[in-house]
Amino acid sequence: MNPVYFARRVGHAVLVVFIVSLIAFQLGEVIGDPVTAILGLDAPASAREALREQMGLDQPWPVRYLAFIGDALQGEFGMSYRAQRPVADIIVERIPATVELAISALILSLWIGIPLGVVAAIWRESCWASALMTGSVVGVSLPTFVVGIMLIFVFSVQLGMLPSFGRGQTVAIGAWQTGLLTASGLAALIMPAISLAISQVALVARLVRAEMLEVLRMDYIRFARARGIRDRVVHFRHALRNTLLPIITVSGIQIGYLIAFAVVVEQVFQWPGLGTMFLAALTESDIPVITAFLMLIACLFAGINLIVDMLYALADPRVRLAEG
Amino acid sequence: MPKSHSLILAGLALTTVLAQGAFAENLRYAGATAPLTFDPHATNDFVTTAIARQTYESLIELNAKSQLVPGLATQWEYIDNAAWRLTLREGVTFHDGTPMTAEDVSFSIMRQASSPRYKSLFGQITEANVVDATTVDIVTAQPDAVMPVKLSLLFVMSKAWAEANDVVEVPDLGAASSESYSLRHANGTGPMKLELQVPGERTVFVRNDDWWDDFTGNVDRAEYVAITSAPTRLAALLSGEVDLITDVPLQDVVRVEETAGFKVADGPQRLYMGLEMDGTRDVALASFDKNGQPLDSNPFKDVRVRRAIALAIDNEAIVSRVMRGYARPISMPAAPGFQGYAEDLEKDLGVDLEESKRLLAEAGYPDGFRTTLNCPLERYVNTEEICRASASLLARVGIEVTVNGMVWPEFARMLVNGPDSSFHLIGALGNSGDVQDVFGAILHTRDDESGLGQQNWAMWSNTDFDAVFEKLVSTFDPDERAALYREGLRIAQEQQHAIYLHQPFLIWAMADKVDASVRADSAVVLSDVTVGTE
């Protein structure tokens, strides 16, 4: 691979992360004052000043920012003001919950979305296909928390089948706490995963349908039909396979999206992941946690984009040439 | 550490009914936020304190009626020279089995007094001297008549345990780089021992069979979980996953009451809500005349305008409509449960729009004016609705109010780093819940030097009132004090220091088999909770 191209992409990613870190660093102060959040309204001014000084908050922000970046590069994210614990510890213990939720939602959305898209493409004239596509618009437009609360009231309150909150029992695999190996963990995962997947299902279905329609118009499909190959084989062996490539690319980006936007679902189901952590930090101006979370998400997106760019470059020489 | 997370919930998911029968004396309860730490000196978050209180006890306790009763101290008396003498209870042991000594008490007093979060309550304490095995003297910089009330927030921790676990100092926010041992471990004397604390998620208590006092309830194991989303918290109750929830939204009360097998309990919170008005500035902030030109005066400084606003705002209507009856109208900066509250001073100003308009005209605002009401969007119940209702009530006398809703961190910063507000809604309780503290912190003229009036966000100022306060602080005779409390409250009423709205109620919902009574500090007192077998 062209090293110049590689360097430029990496440079891009670093720039994005840098800009996000600047914004994230300001955010906590835009919405509140950490000293007020910690001490409450009733602290005397002297205690406030003392704490401000002790925490270094009296320094101008560029100084604090540089100190923060210096520490962050060494893997030190400081202490959460609110939880009084190292931010790194909190994030490490919260990552598994969010990742498991996001991946489950992704699998669910592909598992439901791909067949729907195929059906809609193959029988595109039928009323079922248009009903599916209309339904998918509804799926996209339903707010996630509404879906979540509806699910809770049906499956927890009315039917008593699924737990309304939490993650069930978890099992440790090294440092990773997984909920995938216990019955209660799986039961707890069902509704959050569905809520998170539901808007994605529509997206996947629409993408598959569009790609599939494109592919079905290709010459090799026509030739395949002309050779007398059965429809089933044409649809699933020839057409769908060629449709899947862009789907896989999109899925990679989706996973980043799902991790970042699991916030709402996590809040509704009290899912002990990064999202609930982030929302609690926002209400308390817990700058170290807010910053670390946003940086993590920025790195995730930048990383995924970088990988996708690299893969494209490997797969398609024209990308390399165009970018020089 | 494997999280034996929700072993109970696991079973519950499928066998709710069975589970309730099987763990009869197990209480599972949920609230909106999780306890931040189990170090009672390292937090002033009232939810955290209410939960940590099950494990750590205070020297003096509050009973259900918010009266002071003996806790770890059996007697307290003022012995001159700004000192209070405490007689300690004998035969009290910590959860690790060691006896509580005067050394432990002295250590705890100084440890909490050193905490930056307790400067306003205990910053005045200079010494805690051990006199003998059961006597400790607390010495303050100035005589402090309300020290006993404050001591209901002073928690006793074992000194030897703190030394053994390197938590002698309250964890330091600036310098610490690791989690302190006291964050998820505890060694108090209370009715419940801390078995497990998973920060941000759940807390498990077991009954302390060696507790010095009598259990009036039957809970031997309790699990607290945080469920932030209110609909989910309600669902967890209705599906039987938890037995009791705190912080029930007003709109869900009817739903709980109408569901068979569940009930609602409520009780007054130690808090009052009011609209505060700028008492110092010569030009009010964000206020305009009817043509949209900025005012060159501060209408709020004129007591006639303040009275006019009070006469236009119907706090009974706010209580019945906005608060759906779960609040009590008030007419002074105090409410039942506050030490020093004077019930006989309560008077209903009523609503009198004609008189209100007349007063406005007399004050030079015959057409009214426009202003901005700063309104915190969370923290207190239905704040946005209260602000909107106030705005439409004021529109009737020509005062056009724009409601400026703010999230709590933004609102708190505006007050603390300013105060930059001429008109706002706020909940207040003073620091300790004693009216003297309400006077000193909220109504006294702001003075950075002495630290008085630190929470006087409206910068109200009245020299007669300040004089009453100075007298109150140095008076120890109960009868004289009662007279001074009344004098101060009367001035606040006459001068219309604020528009006093209501005292909100705390609302809990629980399964019928649970018996728990709501306390003003919102603590679920586990030693008093009874769980039936249904």
Model pLDDT for residues A53-67, shown as the tens digit of each residue: 888 888 888 888 888
Q: What pLDDT score does B13 carry?
A: 42
**Contact map slice: B 463-522 vs A, CB within 8 A:** none
Q: A315 in a domain, yes or no?
A: no
What pLDDT is attached to residue B106? 97
Interface probe for A, chosen from B39, B115, B150, B179 (most Cβ of A below 10 Å), is B179
Report yes or no: A270 at the B interface, CB cutoff 8 Å: yes
Indicate whether B20 pLDDT > 50. no
Q: What's the pLDDT score for residue B176?
A: 67
Q: What is the pLDDT of residue A319?
A: 57
Q: For residues B343 and A130, which has the higher predicted lDDT (pLDDT)?
A: B343
* Residue A137, in any domain of the structure: yes
User: Span B196-202, mean pLDDT?
Assistant: 93
Q: What is the pLDDT of residue B464?
A: 96
Number of domains present in the structure of chain A: 1
pLDDT grade, residue B353 (50/70/90)? Answer: very high
Separation of alpha carbons A293 and A277, rounded Å: 9
* Out of A44, A164, A169, closest to residue B10 by CB: A169
Give exposure, A193-220, as e/b (b: 16+ Cβ within 10 Å).
Answer: bbbbbbbbbbbbbbbbbebbbebbeeee
Q: How confident is the model at residue B271 (pLDDT cuts 50, 70, 90)?
A: very high
pLDDT value of residue A61: 83
Which residue of A77, A84, A153, A180 is the best one to mutate when testing the B interface, meaning the one whose CB has the most B CBs within 10 A? Answer: A84
User: Side chain identity at B169, as an amino acid letter?
Assistant: E
H helices then E strands: how many in chain B? 16, 20
Q: Which tokens is B324 given?
A: 């759906």
Strand pairing report for B272-277 and B423-428: antiparallel
Residue type, B35: P
Query: pLDDT value at position A321?
Result: 54
The predicted pLDDT at position B21 comes to 40
Cβ pair A83:B10 closer than 8 A: no
Q: Please give the mean pLDDT across all residues of chain B.
A: 91
Rounded to whole angstroms, the Cα distance separating B39 from B52 reads 8
Q: Are B140 and B80 in contact (CB under 8 A)?
A: no
What pLDDT is recorded for position A282?
85
Angle between helices A61-73 and A3-31 (to 10 degrees): 130
A209 φ/ψ angles, rounded to the nearest 5 degrees = -60, -50
Candidates A273, A292, A287, A274; CA nearest to A38 is A287
Task: Tell me the torsion sign for CA atoms A187, A189, A190, A195.
Answer: positive
Q: What values do phi and psi take at A258, rounded to 5?
A: -65, -40
- pLDDT digit string, tens, across residues A102-143: 999 999 999 998 888 888 888 877 787 788 778 877 877 888
Residue B175: what pLDDT?
Answer: 63
Q: How far apart are CA A157 and CA A160, in angstroms?
A: 5
Q: Minimal Cα–Cα distance from B377 to chain A, Å?
A: 12
The average pLDDT across B210-239 equals 95
B182 DSSP 8-state letter:
G
Please name the amino acid found at residue A211: E
* pLDDT surpassing 90 at residue B35: yes
| Measured distance CA(B531)–CA(B232) in Å, rounded | 23
| Consecutive 10-residue averages of pLDDT for chain A (324 residues) | 81 89 79 83 85 85 86 84 90 94 93 87 80 79 87 94 92 89 94 91 86 83 81 76 78 84 92 93 86 90 84 66 50
User: Is B336's pLDDT higher than 70?
Assistant: yes
Query: pLDDT value at position A118?
Result: 85
Query: The tokens of B388 are what?
Result: 């909107």
Chain position carrying tokens 């920012």: A65
- Closest-CA residue of chain A to B117: A39
Given a cut of 50, whether residue B17 has pLDDT beyond it is no
Cα distance from A70 to chain B (closest Cα, Å)?
A: 15
**So what's the pLDDT on residue B1?**
37
What pLDDT, on the 0 to 100 scale, is given for residue B534? 59
The superfamily CATH assigns to domain B272-505 is: Dipeptide-binding Protein; Domain 3 (3.10.105.10)
Closest alpha carbon to A288 in A101, A28, A93: A28
pLDDT of residue A315: 67
B183: pLDDT strictly greater than 50: yes
pLDDT given for residue A166 in this prediction: 93
Q: How far apart (Å, rounded) are the C-alpha atoms in residues A261 and A245?
A: 24
Q: What is the H or E stretch that residue B271 is in? A: none
Does the structure show a pLDDT above 60 at B23? no
Distance from CA of A84 to the nearest CA of B (A): 7
Closest of B328, B242, B331 to residue B531, by C-alpha? B242
- CB atoms near residue A259 (< 10 Å): 25
**A57 close contact with B: CB closer than 8 A:** no
Under DSSP, the state recorded for B515 is E
Q: Which residues contact B327 (CB under 8 A, 6 or more apart)?
A: B273, B319, B381, B502, B503, B504, B505
Neighboring chain B residues of A44 at a CB cutoff of 8 Å:
119-120, 123, 451, 454
- CATH code (residue A114): 1.10.3720.10
Q: Could you tell me if B89 and A23 are in contact, meaning their C-beta atoms sit under 8 angstroms apart?
A: no
What's the pLDDT tens digit per position in B379-408? Answer: 899 999 999 999 999 999 999 999 999 988
ipTM for this model? 0.87
Domain around A238:
87-283
Virtual torsion, Cα B45, B342, B66, B481, nearest 10 deg = 90
Instruction: Give the C-alpha separation, B75 to B294, whole Å.
Output: 58
- CA–CA distance, A160 with B124 (Å, rounded to integer): 54
Cβ neighbours for B213, distance < 8 A, ≥ 6 positions apart: B191, B527
Pairing of strands B221-226, B135-140: unpaired
**Integer CA distances (angstroms), B519 to A124, B62, B233, B246, in order:** 64, 10, 20, 11
Closest CA–CA distance from residue B507 to any residue of chain A (Å): 21
Tell me which chain A residues have a C-beta less than 8 angstroms from the C-beta of B119: 43-44, 46-47
Exposure letters B55-72 (e unless 16+ CB within 10 A, then b):
bbbbbbbbeeebeeeebb
Cα B423–Cα B426–Cα B432 angle in degrees, nearest 5: 135
Residue A69 counted as domain residue: no
Residue position matching structure tokens 């690319």: A249
Instruction: State residue A209's pLDDT score.
Output: 87
**B259 shares contact with chain A (CB less than 8 Å):** no
- Give the model's pLDDT for residue B259: 94
pLDDT digits (tens, 9 = 90+) for B38-91: 999 998 888 999 999 999 999 999 888 888 999 999 999 999 889 999 999 999
Between A and B, how many residue pairs show a Cβ–Cβ distance under 8 A?
Answer: 205
| Spatial separation of the C-alpha atoms in residues B141 and B125, rounded to whole Å | 6
A200 in any annotated domain: yes
Q: Where are the domains of chain B?
A: 3-243+513-531, 272-505
pLDDT recorded at residue B531: 93
* A272 falls within a domain: yes
Q: Global pTM?
A: 0.88
Q: What is the pLDDT of residues B100-142, one digit of tens each?
A: 999 999 999 999 999 988 988 998 999 999 999 999 999 999 8
- Contact list in B for residue A164 (CB cut-off 8 A) is 232, 235-236, 239, 241
Predicted confidence at residue A313, as pLDDT, reads 74
* More confident: B213 or A78: B213
Nearest to A267 among B9, B229, B412 (CB): B229
Residue A82 lies in a domain: no
User: How large is the angle between the packed helices A61-73 and A287-315, nearest 10 degrees?
Assistant: 60
Asked whether residue A320 is domain-assigned, the answer is no
List, in order, residues 6 or more apart from B404 with CB less than 8 Å away: B286, B372, B373, B374, B375
Any idea which fold B3-243+513-531 has? D-Maltodextrin-Binding Protein; domain 2 (3.40.190)
Q: How confident is the model at residue B526 (pLDDT cuts 50, 70, 90)?
A: very high
Average pLDDT, integer, range B494-517: 96
| Rounded CA separation B331/A214 (Å) | 73
- Which residue of chain A has the CA closest to B32? A270
